[in-house]
Amino acid sequence: MKRTNLSIGKLFLLTALVMLLLGLIFGVLSTISYLVPDFLKDTLGFTTLRPLHVSSAVFWIILGATGCVYCCLQFYTDKELSNFADLTQWVLWIIALAGIFNSYFTKSFGGREYWEFNPIWALPITIAWIIFLVNFVKISKKIKDWPVYIWMWLTGIIFFLFTFIENYLWIFSYFREHFVTDMTIQWKVNGSLVGSWNQILYGTAFFLMDKFENNKHVGRSKLAFGMFFLGLFNLMFNWGHHIYTLPTEQYIRYVGYIVSMTEWIFFVRILYTWKQTVSDVQKHYHYFPYRFIIAADIWVFINMGQAILMSIPAINLYTHGTHITVSHAMGTTIGINSMIIFAACFEFFDFKRETSKIVTNLSTLSFWFLQFSLLIFWLSLIMAGIKKSIWQMSENQSSYSKMMVSLTPYFTTFFVAGLGLLISFTILAIVLIKTYWKNRFIIHLK
């Protein structure tokens, strides 16, 4: 039998792509509920569709991040990474996914926002993650003089585990007894979980940049380490910006505010290196993985600008509880996280061996269609958010339902742009899966 090159990393990336496709379909279906209130109301309804969408999207990112780390680590070891423990990790994920989807379809909820499934299914995820940590430590121990991305992966993996467990403290009634503390912990968790997968994916982006440029400087520079620690500092302490209106302890709100403002440093740095970025783009545009990294960079810039403004309490008062928050959540998970995972997939599935001109052109077209759809998608949510914000602040409010009906044009635009995302992402995902299939027997030697 001919041996294939299916490594554990690729297995995770392929699984993640399936979650992406499911997530997109559920996303479009949940948006129909906005436009047609009775849509599937007596069966799935928004109650089930939203969790299906959000969980699939989050799993696309987490599984994608896992795949990225494994694929990158393969460059540090001669041995095949796939062993019994890795496979157990993957099987545990499959068990969890099956349980979670079943939990949603049978409406057996019980969890919280983003994790609405029956909490029992958090168990296989936790065990899978512990296996991931052990595997990671075993491999990275052998690497000398760690570049910054190994640090980023390690902290991402550790903090994800810590926060994911913290995510279930509400099971103990001690924590539920005081509603405000309970909410504080819930949003501490949500903030840090996102920070953790960002560490893993930004680490992947650093790794890819090092690889593209054929140099080992990016990952070992003082600046890179400075940025890593600033990111970690924010992961730990900036989450207070989610809960400015919650009557929690004053110091928590100030810590969130002050720490969030250190993100201006990232922002200014991007501005500062803008010229360099533009010349790099011109040099490497033809190379697909690089193109996705650049797209992620631009979305970092846009989303970070928005996020820092929203972290100022006086502005947050207006944006909080509106679709501006949704635009931020999806703007970052699609624009930044998804672009980095796509860059990694194009790199590790060896897209450059794909010579067919039609496929290359189709991919370029889908790439641009994706960026354009995302921009419209993001703007329509912001517009809907601004209108709701004006309504929230006005002294003689019309009824909630009247306000929502007046947002229909924005939600329609949102729906159409969402279809654009569905189409472009689907084409790119199919190209990737086909590329994987075509190259499955090519085994690289180190």
Partner 1 sequence: MKPIHLFFSLCFLFLIYTLSIYLTPLTVAKMSTIDSEKAVSGRIVWQKYNCQSCHQLYGLGGYLGPDLTNVVSNPKKGERMIKQILKYGVKQMPCYNMPNDDYKCLIEFLKSVDASGLADPRKYTISKTGMINQK
Distance from C-alpha of 262 to C-alpha of 231, rounded to nearest angstrom: 10
Cα separation values, 170 from 111, 244, 432, Å: 10, 21, 40
73 near 10, Cβ under 8 Å? no
Q: Does 276 sit near ligand HEC (CB under 6 A)?
A: no
CB of 210 or CB of 242, closer to ligand HEM: 242
Q: Give the one residue of 21, 25, 45, 313 binding ligand HEC; rule: CB under 6 A.
A: 45
> How far is it, in rounded angstroms, from Cα 114 to Cα 272?
36
Which residues does residue 117 pair with via DSSP β-bridges, in sequence order? 109
> CA–CA distance from 341 to each of 66, 213, 244, 344, 399 (Å)?
10, 19, 32, 5, 42
CB atoms within 10 A of CB 229: 12
Nearer to ligand HEC, 161 or 404 (CB): 404
> Would you give the binding string for partner 1 spanning residues 170-209, x where CB under 8 A is met?
x--xxxxxxxxxxxxx-xx---------------------
Binding of ligand HEM at residue 380 (CB under 6 A)? no
Alpha carbons within 13 angstroms on the beta-carbon side of residue 153 total 29
In the chain, the amino acid numbered 12 is F
Least CB distance to ligand HEC at residue 312 (A): 28
Nearest residue to the partner ligand HEC, using Cβ? 401
d(CA 373, CA 418): 7
Beta strands in 57-140 (DSSP E): 109-112, 115-117
> Is 60 a residue that touches ligand HEC (CB under 6 A)?
no
What gap in Å lies between CA 144 and CA 125, rounded to an integer?
30
Footprint on residues 225-264 left by partner 1 (CB under 8 A): 225, 229, 232-233, 236-237, 242-247, 249, 252-255, 257
Q: Judged by CB, which is closer to partner 1: 112, or 211?
A: 112
Among the listed ranges 42-50, 146-154, 191-199, 359-367, the one in contact with ligand HEC (CB under 6 A) is 42-50
- Per partner kind, with CB cut-offs from 5 to 8 A, the member of ligand HEC, ligand HEM, partner 1, none near residue 193 is none
**What letter represents residue 326's amino acid?**
V
The owner of tokens 């969030």 is: 260
The stretch near partner 1 (CB under 8 A) out of 39-47, 85-93, 193-201, 262-270 is 39-47
Give yes or no for residue 330 binding ligand HEM (CB under 6 A): yes
Give residues 362-391 in contact with partner 1 (rule: CB under 8 A). none
The answer to whether residue 101 forms part of the interface with partner 1 (CB under 8 A) is: no
Q: Which of 140, 168, 321, 438 binds partner 1 (CB under 8 A)?
A: 321
- Residue 4 binds which of ligand HEM, partner 1, ligand HEC, none (CB < 5-8 A, kind-dependent): none
> Binding to ligand HEC by residue 321, rule CB under 6 A?
no
91 binds, among ligand HEC, partner 1, ligand HEM, none (CB under 5 to 8 A by kind): none
CA neighbours closer than 13 Å in the CB half-sphere of residue 182: 12
CA-CA distances (angstroms) from residue 231 to 59, 97, 197, 238, 252? 22, 30, 12, 10, 19
Give the range of 43-51, 163-171, 254-262, 330-338 binding ligand HEC by CB under 6 A: 43-51
Query: Which residues contribute to the site for ligand HEM (CB under 6 A)?
Result: 20, 23-24, 27-28, 30-31, 50, 53-54, 57, 325-326, 329-330, 333-334, 338, 414-415, 418, 421-422
